[in-house]
Amino acid sequence: MILLLLGAPGSGKGTQGRLLSEHYRIPYLSSGDLLRRAIEQDTEFGRQVREYIERGLYVPNTIMVPAAITELTRLRHSQDDGGAVLDGFPRTREQAEALDRDLTTEHTHLDRVLLLNVPKEVLVTRLAGRRVCRSCGASYHSDTKPPKKAGICDVCGGEVIQRVDDKPEMVDGRLTVYFERTLPLVAYYQQQGRLAQVDGNRAEGDVTHAMIAAAKDK
């Protein structure tokens, strides 16, 4: 099964994507994590993309598409199922078309696109308090879901930090970019009959159950 999670920054794609990947025992691919890892490791690719992320801008498709598709192919072929949970890629119409073309050549397709709906004021509060592990990407919130030991990831013991692009002055711009460039994908996948909408403004477990139900209901 190949699932795509759509939703604004702070809608819970990362948290839910990891939970769905465990539930279905298929790999989880976050394009944001892929980029942040490359920046952390100071690779050539990381140096190419750093400035875009730090300014809250999308990485150009010419750089993003080959990197994401190569990683997806590697992950899908690393297990028999051939499935994956995608978070953050595709994020533009051009990326969605490129992914569809690639999956067609692999004789497969996206099974379900799950859109997480969360009101804008909730997104802003979530992003203001969001903290992430710089090693494994696990997500926390300074007020509602802090790590057990301050600054240390419960999952892997890595350092828990605030992302540069979660700083308050960056959030509005990122949400605008999302509404302009990614929201049109809702109509794109609706036309393909693949879209399901899930209320993401609920307890974590309730959202996961709703997403699993929506993924089944094809």
Q: Residue number with the shortest CB distance to ligand AMP?
A: 32
**Residue range at the interface with ligand AMP (CB under 6 A); choices 38-46, 88-96, 154-162, 203-211:** 88-96
Is 130 annotated as catalytic?
yes
Nearer to ligand AMP, 76 or 174 (CB): 174
What separation in angstroms does the CA of 98 have from each of 19, 62, 93, 101, 192? 27, 11, 9, 5, 15
140 binds ligand AMP, rule: CB under 6 A? no
Residues 12-41 that bind ligand AMP (CB under 6 A): 31-32, 35
Catalytic residue among 76, 91, 112, 126: 91
User: What is the bridge-based pairing of β-strands 112-117 and 130-133?
Assistant: unpaired
CA 7-9-11 angle, to 5 degrees, is 55
- The CA distance from 208 to 212, in Å, is 6
| Helix boundaries (H) for the chain | 13-24, 31-40, 44-54, 61-76, 93-105, 120-129, 168-177, 184-191, 204-216
200 binds ligand AMP, rule: CB under 6 A? no
**Residue range at the interface with ligand AMP (CB under 6 A); choices 18-26, 51-59, 103-111, 144-152:** 51-59
Is 174 annotated as catalytic?
yes
Give the closest residue to 166 by CA, choosing from 8, 5, 15. Answer: 8
Residues 150-179 that bind ligand AMP (CB under 6 A): 165, 174
130 binds ligand AMP, rule: CB under 6 A? no
95 binds ligand AMP, rule: CB under 6 A? yes
91 binds ligand AMP, rule: CB under 6 A? yes
- The CA distance from 25 to 154, in Å, is 21
Catalytic residues: 13, 91, 130, 163, 174
